[in-house]
Structures are given as C-alpha cells and as structure tokens.
Amino acid sequence: MRKHVTLRQLALKALPLMLLALPMTLVQAQTKGARAAQQGQFADGIAAIVGTEVITMRQLQERMAANRVAGNDRRAQDQVLQGMIDELLVEDEAQRLGLQISDGRMQQVIAEIAANNNMTPEQLREAARQHGIDWTTYVEGLRNQVLLDEVRGQILMSRIHVTPADVEAYIKQNPTGVSPNYRPQVIQPEAPPPEKRIVVEQSFEPKAIAFQHIYIRVPDNSSEEVVEAARKRANEALQKIRGGTSFEAVAREYSNAPEAAEGGNLGIRLFEDWPKLFVDQTRNVRDGRVSGVFRAPNGFHILKVVERRGLIHERQREVVVQAPRPAPIVVHDPRVQAAQQEGPVEVTDSHVRHILIRRTPIMTDEQAHERILQVQQAIQGGMSFSEAAEKYSDDSSAPIGGDIGWITPGQADPAFEKAADSLQIGQISEPVRSSFGWHLIEVMERRTEDKQASIRKSLANEAIFEERAAAVLEDWIEQLRGRTFIDNRLEQKRNR
C-alpha cells in the first residue's frame, strides 16, 4: 500500500516529535488521566498552572525519568516543564479546532509502529502487556501524541508555502538539494537488561606433587673453593635447561643423585612426605616449570614441578551480568546518497493495483487472511481484478479497480513493495501480509527513469520547509502562550 509523500508528512517531519516508545507514551497517558485526581492533592507540589490545567511536581518528575533526565539538572528540568506546558497549549488548541484522531487512523499508526519494530499489531499489544502497560492507556497516550502532531502539522501547512522559485534558488546554492545541516540518523539501541546467571566457581586444593631433581653434592667440611665450584656447576646445569636442553638430559649429565640415570625423576608424593625445603622452594613454581638453584646442607638442588594433584571444589554463585550496549546504528537517507552521486539515478517505478482486506478490531488477522483467499478464488474463477477490487477491497482505491498509480521504491509498505518487485507484468501475487492487512497485488506496467533531478528538488523542498518550520512553530507557540494564563511555579521559586 502506498505511503503517500505529501507536504503533511514534511510538516510532521519538521516537528520535534516525541518517540513513540512504550514507556514515554505510558507516562503521557498517565499524566493526562491522573490530572484531575491530582489537582486537589498536591497544592504544595504544583510545577505549573496552564489555563485550568495543573502540572504537578510528580508528573514533572515522571516525565524527566521517562526522558532519562537527572532530577538535579535545573536547566533540563526547566526545558522538560516548558515542553509539558506547550503540550497543554497545543491540546487546548486542538480542542478549540475540534480536531480528533479516528479509530481508523489509530489502527494505521499502531500498524506502522508494529511494522517498524518487526511485529504485528497483536505482538505489539503483547509486548505492552509484558511491560506491565495497560493497552487502552497506551493507545490513548499515543492518540494524544498523534493529535499534537496533527495540530502542529496543520499550522505548518497553512503558514509555510514553498514555491518552485524557492526550490530553484535553493538548488543554485546547494546543487544536490541536500541541506548543509543534513546528518544521518544515529540510533542508539537500548542497553540490554542485566541478566542473572549462575556461575560455577572451581578451586583446586593440591594434595600431592611430583618432582624431577638435579643434585650437585657438596661434601661435609668442604672449602669455599669446592662450594663455589659446586654452585657454578649447578648454575651451568640451570642455564642449559633454560637454553632448551631437556631436564632429563641435564640431570643425567650433572646430577649426583641416585635417580640421575632416570632423568632425575623422584615420582609423586603427598606434600607432607617431601622435605619442607622442597615444598617451600617450589610453592610459586607452576607445573612444568623449574625452580632456581637453591642451597641445602648437603649441596645445591634444582627442582622441576612435574605436576600437582589434589581436590577440585565447586561452588555455585548468582551474578548479575550487564551485556555491553550495542554500537550505534547509522541510518543514511538513500535519497541523499542518490542526490550526491555522480551520473544518473535510474529508478524503476511500478504501476500497481491491489485489493486490501484490512485488519480491524472486528476483522482479525486470521479472518482477513481467509477473506483474501476467498477473493483470490473468485478471481481464479473468472472475476476480473478490477471488479473484485470494487466489490471486496477496503482501500480507498476500490472504486477505481484498486489502481493506486505509480509507486517509487521506498513509498510503499516494505512487504508490499517486496512482493510487487517480484511480480512479472500482468501477474497477480499470492496473498501478501503487510502492516495494513492482506493484499492481492498486480503490476500493470513498469518504467525506468533518471530521477536525480526530481530527488534533488524533493530534498530541497523538504530542507526549505524544515528551515522555516522552527521559526513558524515558535511564533505560533508564543501566540498561544500570550493568550493563555500560565503560572510557572518553578520559575517563580528560583527568581525569589
């Protein structure tokens, strides 16, 4: 189904829109619903009075928490409160204009939010339930956001007029049509919630140790010269080991111990069965490593720790693990890339007609699917596509046989567009599920054109509109502030 690109969308795009996230929407709905109940209960906790409405300190704190703003940041607190005041002003203006958001519009908005999160509307509703959010409260908060955007959009539409001459002048200054202020959208994914995990910690308690041994004997009552000669021989043996010669070979060559012929192998024993000197000298020597030369009353020794054996103790412990925050996602506008590239931008448009069976609170997804299958059978039985569209389609294109004209890549629901791209001219699709419901699609013709010039003009139009929007909105809000009683208690308190 076509997502019409209109000045209304540009108007909404130019607004400081609030994210359509579950927590924020919930806070707004709760704020609106609890207003009347709290007005008489927080006389000492009033942040502001706007006309006949009251913003309490509790509501301000809830909004700041939803916006992840520190409560002691006075400047940020003032900005959040001013935003809440402006929301009330816009709400009053919407009531004065008699604007309302229909249930049908809300179904479309919810379908789009669900699709943007790779969900069905039913899955979005279940996600709200899992977050402990009442669905009715969520929808009403969302309806209020859409209403605020609608009011702002109407103001911008009525006060901003971009002419072809404006666009041509802009492109002379910016040949690609891209605003100098353009920046790709950076989406910072939420950090995953901390997880509780059970870890098993192991500890090793050594009970026995195996040694290889080199012994350089020093006879009793030996002179200093004999002792030094023995020390030198022991150090030579150690240097050979460190130089890469095997311990076994060095033991056979140098050791005076009886086990020298076996490479100095002493076997394995419990710690208490070894001389204390051996245990002390190898306390910090890892398995497979060699000690330094050390002196004993009977001579010089070198030990290799072959292995330790003992008991393994296990202990389970619960820990909280915080996974790292995912890297930011940079989203580039493909139109900007097309406008900036050298050479033509060839785009294939499709002339499409379709039949839509829309999901509604009354028509479930399963029922809509069953209905589209029945329509498919009617066409296969000989009914023309246009006749079936006029008779069964829920789309506004039904009276003209389902013809929605030419669609350009990026204009339609992603699932709808993918299905249309896969069709041959004159081929009717199998039932296709989109964020709106179930479709049958037929591509009647295709055309390929260089769209770079029109893309650049479109971007220039948007850039001009957005540049003018901020000043127009600020001027309009100032007018609303000027004709409405506003008592900002926080501002008064700080000015005392």
CATH number of the domain residue 115 falls in: 1.10.4030.10
Please give the backbone phi and psi of residue 183, each rounded to the nearest 5 degrees, phi first: -135, 140
As a residue count, the chain comes to 496
**At 494, is the pLDDT very low, low, confident or very high (cuts 50, 70, 90)?**
low
Q: Which of 316, 348, 380 is the last residue of a domain?
A: 316
Rounded mean pLDDT of 202-226?
94
Residues 11 and 153 in one domain: yes
Most confident of 192-201, 407-416, 419-428, 476-485: 419-428
Please give the backbone phi and psi of residue 54, each rounded to the nearest 5 degrees, phi first: -120, 135
- For residue 305, is it within any domain? yes
- For residue 360, is it within any domain? yes
Name the DSSP letter for residue 402. T
**At 456, is the pLDDT very low, low, confident or very high (cuts 50, 70, 90)?**
very high
Residue reference for tokens 């916006």: 67
Rounded mean pLDDT of 374-396?
96
Residues 21 and 155 in one domain: yes
Q: Which of 283, 316, 349 is the last residue of a domain?
A: 316
Please give the backbone phi and psi of residue 52, each rounded to the nearest 5 degrees, phi first: -105, 5
Averaged pLDDT score across all residues of the chain: 86
Whole-angstrom distance between the N-terminal and C-terminal Cα of the chain? 58
**At 290, is the pLDDT very low, low, confident or very high (cuts 50, 70, 90)?**
very high
Give the distance from CA 79 to its chain's centroid: 26
Residues 116 and 20 in one domain: yes
Q: What per-residue confidence (pLDDT) applies to 363?
A: 85
Residues 312 and 345 in one domain: no
CA distance 77 to 182: 29
> Residue 458's closest CA among 332, 336, 331?
336
Q: What per-residue confidence (pLDDT) applies to 495?
A: 64
**At 27, is the pLDDT very low, low, confident or very high (cuts 50, 70, 90)?**
very low
- For residue 24, is it within any domain? yes
3-class secondary-structure state, position 146: helix
CA distance 16 to 28: 16
Q: What per-residue confidence (pLDDT) applies to 255?
A: 96
pLDDT > 90? residue 148: no
**At 496, is the pLDDT very low, low, confident or very high (cuts 50, 70, 90)?**
low
Residues 358 and 410 in one domain: yes
Domain range spanning residue 348?
Answer: 340-449
Give the type of residue at 398.
Answer: A
CA distance 445 to 352: 8
Structural domains in the chain (count): 3
Query: How does strand 265-270 pair with strand 294-296?
Result: unpaired
Rounded mean pLDDT of 373-390?
96
3-class secondary-structure state, position 431: coil
- For residue 194, is it within any domain? no
**At 67, is the pLDDT very low, low, confident or very high (cuts 50, 70, 90)?**
low
The answer to whether the beta carbons of residues 93 and 64 sit under 8 Å apart is no
Residues 6+ apart with CB under 8 A from 180: 174
HSE-CB for 220 with a 13 A CA cutoff: 0
Report the percentage of the chain scoring pLDDT > 70: 89
Residues 286 and 225 in one domain: yes
- For residue 411, is it within any domain? yes
Rounded mean pLDDT of 230-259?
95
Alpha-carbon distance values, 341 to 175, 180, 336, 453 (Å): 12, 16, 9, 12
Residues 483 and 442 in one domain: no
> Residue 71's closest CA among 85, 80, 24?
80
pLDDT tens readout for residues 419-430: 999 999 999 999
- For residue 271, is it within any domain? yes
**DSSP secondary structure of 451-465:** -HHHHHHHHHHHHHH
pLDDT > 80? residue 38: no
Q: What per-residue confidence (pLDDT) applies to 69?
A: 66
Rounded mean pLDDT of 428-438?
91
pLDDT > 60? residue 405: yes
Residues 26 and 138 in one domain: yes
279: CATH: 3.10.50.40
Residues 239 and 368 in one domain: no
HSE-CB for 492 with a 13 A CA cutoff: 8
Residues 297 and 428 in one domain: no
Q: What per-residue confidence (pLDDT) applies to 76?
A: 84
- For residue 463, is it within any domain? no
The answer to whether the beta carbons of residues 464 and 173 sit under 8 Å apart is no
- pTM here is 0.56
Can you say whether the dihedral through the CA atoms of 19, 20, 25, 29 is positive or negative? positive
- For residue 213, is it within any domain? yes
Q: What per-residue confidence (pLDDT) applies to 435?
A: 79
Give the distance from CA 479 to its chain's centroid: 38
Q: How many other CB atoms are found less than 10 A from the CB of residue 239? A: 11
Q: What per-residue confidence (pLDDT) applies to 185?
A: 84
Residue reference for tokens 């001009």: 464
Residues 136 and 267 in one domain: no
Please give the backbone phi and psi of residue 435, each rounded to the nearest 5 degrees, phi first: -70, -10
**At 4, is the pLDDT very low, low, confident or very high (cuts 50, 70, 90)?**
very low
Rounded mean pLDDT of 409-427?
91
Residues 440 and 488 in one domain: no
Give the type of residue at 390.
Answer: E
- Between helices 103-116 and 135-159, what is the axis angle to 10°? 100
pLDDT tens readout for residues 336-367: 999 999 989 999 999 999 999 998 778 888 99
pLDDT > 50? residue 112: yes
